[in-house]
Structure 1
Amino acid sequence: MSCASATLAVWASAWLAGSAAPDDVLDALAPWSEAHDVLAADGAAVGVTGLPGPAAAPTSTAMLLAAVRRGSPRGQARLVLPAPGDVRGLPGPGPFSDAAITAGEGVLFPDAGFGVVPSPVAEGVVRWTVYAVPDPGPVPEYVALNEAERELRGQVRAAAAALTDLGVARHRPGVREEIAASLRRRPQALWPGGMPPQALRVLQQADEVDAILSAASGDEPGGALSASAAIARSDALRPIAAAVRVARRAAVAEAVRVLVSVPRT
Structure 2
Amino acid sequence: MSSASATLAVWASAWLAGSAAPDDVLDALAPWSEAHDVLAADDEGATRTGLPGPGAPPTSTAMLLAAVRRTAPRGQARLVLPAPGDVRGLPGPGRFSREATTAGEGVLFPDAGFGVVPSAIADGVVRWTVYAVGDSGPVPEYVPLNEAERDLRGQVRSAAAALTDLGVARHRPGVREEIAAALRRRPHALWPDGMPPQALRVLQQADEVDAILGAAAGDEPGGALSASAAIARSDALRPIATAVRVARRAAVAEAVRVLVSVPRA
1:216 shift after superposition: 1.1
Matched, 1:245 2:214: no
Aligned mates of 1:128, 1:85 — CA distance in 2: 24
Match of 1:181 in 2: 181
Deviation at 1:224, TM superposition (A): 2.4
What amino acid sits opposite 1:13 in the alignment? S
CA contact (8 A) 2:110 2:136 kept: yes
1:189 to partner: Cα distance: 0.3
Following TM superposition, where does structure 1 have runs of at least 4 consecutive aligned residues deviating by more than 3 angstroms? 158-169
**Aligned-pair CA distance for 1:164:** 4.4
**Runs of 5+ consecutive residues of structure 2 not aligned to the other structure:** none
Amino acid at match of 2:261: S
- 2: CA distance between counterparts of 1:224 and 1:92? 40
Structure 1: stretches of 5+ with no match in the other structure: none
Q: CA deviation at 1:204?
A: 0.3
Residue 219 of structure 1 deviates from its aligned partner by 2.4
Q: Distance in 2 between matches of 1:167 and 1:173?
A: 10
Please say if residues 163 and 216 of structure 2, whose CA atoms lie closer than 8 Å, have aligned partners that are also in contact: no
Distance 1:212 1:163 in 2: 8
Q: How many residues align?
A: 264
Does the CA-based 8 Å contact 1:2-1:248 persist in structure 2?
yes
Cα shift readout 1:57-85 (whole Å, capped 9, x = no counterpart): 00000000000000100110000000011
Corresponding position of 2:2:
2
| C-alpha distance 223-132 of structure 1, shift in aligned 2 (>3 A) | closer
- Check whether the contact 2:106–2:116 (CA below 8 A) recurs between aligned residues: yes
**Distance change >3 Å, CA 122–CA 171, structure 1 → 2:** closer
Deviation at 1:171, TM superposition (A): 6.3
AA in 2 matched with 1:157: R
**More off after superposition, 85-94 vs 154-163:** 154-163
Q: Tell me the distance in 2 between the aligned counterparts of 1:206 and 1:159.
A: 12
Which residue number in structure 1 is paired with residue 58 of structure 2? 58
Alpha-carbon separation, structure 2, partners of 1:33 and 1:260: 26
- Kindly report the root-mean-square deviation, in angstroms, between the aligned alpha carbons of the 2 structures: 1.5
CA contact (8 A) 1:168 1:229 kept: no
User: Is residue 38–residue 128 contact of structure 2 (8 Å, CA) maintained in 1?
Assistant: yes
- Matched position secondary structure for 2:111: helix
Mapping of 1:157-236 within 5 angstroms? 157-162=157-162, 164-165=164-165, 170=170, 172-219=172-219, 223-236=223-236
**1:47-196 superposed matches below 5 A:** 47-162=47-162, 164-165=164-165, 170=170, 172-196=172-196
What percent of counterpart residues are identical? 89
Distance 1:171 1:149, change over 3 A: farther
